[in-house]
Chains A and B, each alone.
Chain A
């Protein structure tokens, strides 16, 4: 129950931060912390579903961005943990760079698939900001994450 409340409050704060910083995802660092610290079927999966619905719902694109964004983040994280410690800063910096590139590629692809156009410079800036911000946000959430919710010996 405490976990549900913690993640609900986290999502509320993240949505508000997204209001002040349009184009950025503040939920994804929380998803990564959940993947690092919790059992995936108990928390991470539900958090992922909520994040996909929130991002696709509030976004202007059709369904598809959120699922691809979080799906590929999950895949990159799973691949990365084969080579790095799952909580290493190096992996988080790499994941940030990957997310920056992914934001541009996904926006470009999905916009073109829908036969629309977009502002290039906006998306480039958002990608750079997402890449730079992700490791910082991950660090903050990682430090704030309650000890009693950690199940790390089973997931690391």
Chain B
């Protein structure tokens, strides 16, 4: 390709790119399109893979168990292995059932309903600069942007982008996440900001005179309108009083570790029928 032709194509490409980028900023059409295509395809790609992964690891475990077994003990050992695997599977089912039971016992605040979702994947791809997870419900399941995701232990994050049947959830720990919180005992208000994966939250704008202590639970204040009031968010681990600031310097540990999350609850505000009292 001749240099002049390449330069013309590059310039034309840049023009088209900027036009598309600014058009998308105003309308969000391309974001919606990539959500119902790329995000959806990713969800489809992940789900059969999960099944294959489970089957493969089971096969591998069976094979590994049988290596080096003497011939006369083979049948007995196979039987033992089968029972052991069955036992592991049953234990896993029991643990899963206990987890789901705990989720079922969760009572949403008044005016909110909850719906169970499974975590499909963590953040993926080069454009995944934000700390996110993918869950297996999307627009078809009634999911909308900004819906809170919680567990019985506390808040996980909020929906960033809803695809057709898969949604992306922004985690509390992401540096762009901010949640209005208040101390459960001293009722001091503040905002909990994420500082990255594995790091504690930075809680700002808490009154310097507040008698906060490490160990106090922070719950959502409901001020921003995204999360209902009173959901547990984090536990205070450090309180620092500076003479140079009007606010306390507070750090708090999130109650939910998203790396270990398998199921969670999406919270949806109850829509009152039009014209109803």
Residues A64 and B125 in contact, CB atoms below 8 Å apart: no
A57 to chain B: closest CB distance in Å? 2
Residues of B near A24 (CB, < 8 A) are 126
Q: Tell me if B64 is interfacial: C-beta within 8 Å of chain A.
A: no
Query: Which of B42-50, B65-73, B100-108, B202-210 contacts the other chain?
Result: B42-50
Residues of B near A66 (CB, < 8 A) are 34, 127
A95 to chain B: closest CB distance in Å? 15
Q: Tell me if B261 is interfacial: C-beta within 8 Å of chain A.
A: no
Q: Which of B27-50 contact A (CB under 8 A)?
A: 30-31, 33-35, 37-42, 45-46, 49
Q: Tell me if B168 is interfacial: C-beta within 8 Å of chain A.
A: yes
Interface size for chain A: under 10, 10 to 19, 20 to 34, or 35 or more residues?
35 or more
A62 is contacted by which of B24, B38, B126 (Cβ under 8 Å)?
A: B24
Residues A15 and B129 in contact, CB atoms below 8 Å apart: no
A82 to B33, CA, bound (A): 36
- Which B residue's beta carbon lies closest to that of A18? B124
A10 to chain B: closest CB distance in Å? 12
Residues B121 and A59 in contact, CB atoms below 8 Å apart: no
- Give residues in B with beta carbon < 8 Å to A: 1, 3, 6, 10, 13, 17, 20-21, 24-25, 30-31, 33-35, 37-42, 45-46, 49, 121-130, 132, 134, 160-161, 163, 168, 170, 175-176, 196-197
23 A-B pairs with CB atoms under 8 Å apart are A15-B41, A16-B49, A22-B125, A53-B41, A57-B37, A57-B41, A57-B163, A58-B42, A59-B125, A60-B130, A60-B168, A61-B128, A61-B129, A62-B25, A63-B24, A63-B30, A66-B127, A68-B17, A75-B13, A79-B6, A118-B130, A119-B175, A122-B196
Q: Tell me if A141 is interfacial: C-beta within 8 Å of chain B.
A: no
Which of A64, A110, A116 has the most chain B CB atoms closer than 10 A to its own CB? A64
A55 is contacted by which of B25, B126, B168, B175 (Cβ under 8 Å)?
A: B126
Residues B13 and A71 in contact, CB atoms below 8 Å apart: yes
Residues of B near A53 (CB, < 8 A) are 33-34, 37-38, 41
A67 to B196, CA, bound (A): 27
Chain A interface, DSSP helix/strand/loop, else mixed: helix
Residues B126 and A19 in contact, CB atoms below 8 Å apart: no
A2 to B13, CA, bound (A): 31
A57 is contacted by which of B3, B13, B40 (Cβ under 8 Å)?
A: B40
Residues A59 and B24 in contact, CB atoms below 8 Å apart: no
Q: Tell me if A98 is interfacial: C-beta within 8 Å of chain B.
A: no
Residues of B near A52 (CB, < 8 A) are 38
User: Given known contacts A53-B37, A57-B41, is B129 in contact with A123 (CB within 8 Å)?
Assistant: yes
